[in-house]
Structure 1
Amino acid sequence: MDRFVLYIGNRNYSSWSLRPWMAFEGCGIPFEEVLLPFDFENGNPHLLEVSPTGRVPVLHHGDMHVWESLAIIEYAAELFPEAGLWPAARHAKAIARSVSMEMLSGFVALRSACPMNIRRPKRAIALPAGVAANVARIETIWRECRATSGGPFLFGAFSAADAMFAPVVSRFDTYDLVRSADTLDYMNTIKAHPAFVKWRDLACAEPWIVRQDEV
């Protein structure tokens, strides 16, 4: 098979990069990574050399270029069906894709107010309108999925849906947003996953600092 190369951005900040990276790492899909660091004022001119949008993540597989986190995951799921990126049961797979798409397209208030910043000291901030509703909806998704599957992950075993929500786990933790025992239990499950631990440790070791660290 042609090389499977995933281009990612700074681990500390790039929530979009974390999603397919963690899905691949967590499900045992072999891949190479290329990290292209960015800063929020000037960007990185090399991104346009590898990505049609000038953004990461983007997957190169031979002549194929696939961009956007969920599209990358879906492409990999077709090539590696044995990896279990999605639940095997049709109903569970449909729900997993639905909540992953909701994560991809929604929760704008939370994203805007609480950008992913793994190195940021844990502390609460004043939250604008809409964030509490986003948090409540995410907690409901996690609670209902785990109640149906029996946990410990959203659909029993680790899947792409967990990878899609991994940046939110980081946000909830960093900005001290939740108190519910079942939410915290799921967050601890994700934070203990070897793929998340590896990403977090590498993020904390990065030398690049952008203005978010001052927030």
Structure 2
Amino acid sequence: MAVAAPRDAVAAGTVDEQKAAGVGILLQISMLVLSFVLGHLLRRRKFYYLPEASASLLIGMIVGGLANISNTQRSTRRWFNFREDFFLLFLLPPLILYPFLYVGGLIYIVYKLPLVECMMFGALISATDPVTVLSIFQELGTDVNLYALVFGESVLNDAVAISLYRSMASMRKNSSGPHYFLVILRFLENFVGSMSSGVGVGLISALISLMLTFFYQ
């Protein structure tokens, strides 16, 4: 009997934790659905005084405040906080799989694009535009090194996207086997040439700046 009591306590704690997890997940999913519905109503009514992101934030604040002032169990209340397991199990898979299934399935089913043209489309949309992020960095006065890293990564990403697109376009024109090796060489030529040009321009600019600094000092 002494051994059975701790086991019953552990089982009861596990059941309570599962109930709390179920209630927390249900409420979070309900908040997501309510955010989508409220955003749709705001767009349909053309009510621009309250943005959709602000409406979602307001819903979360109201539900969180009600959970804190109510007699909600502590185990259930913990599930209102950001949890990594909830994000990995319920929020991250739709973010990854939805564009893959929707965009990829739509392109394949509707247009029947071959593999090379799909790769051309992937290379075309892989370029990033960090104008908004860089403007926010500039307004906040962030570190110059962080600004340069984000800007350099976007420029390098654009260069790789251009090289991949040109390589896939060459492969589409010359679909025979021996031309694949030439396409790889063309990609390496564009990539190494662009990188060498960028490094060369950077070194020359640094040298000129150093010489001007010594000259005016």
Same-fold status (TM-score > 0.5): no
Asked which structure has the greater RCO (Cα within 8 Å, sep 6+), the reply is 1
Please report the TM-score for the alignment, with normalisation by the length of structure 1: 0.24
Q: TM-score, normalised by structure 2?
A: 0.24
Greater strand proportion: 1
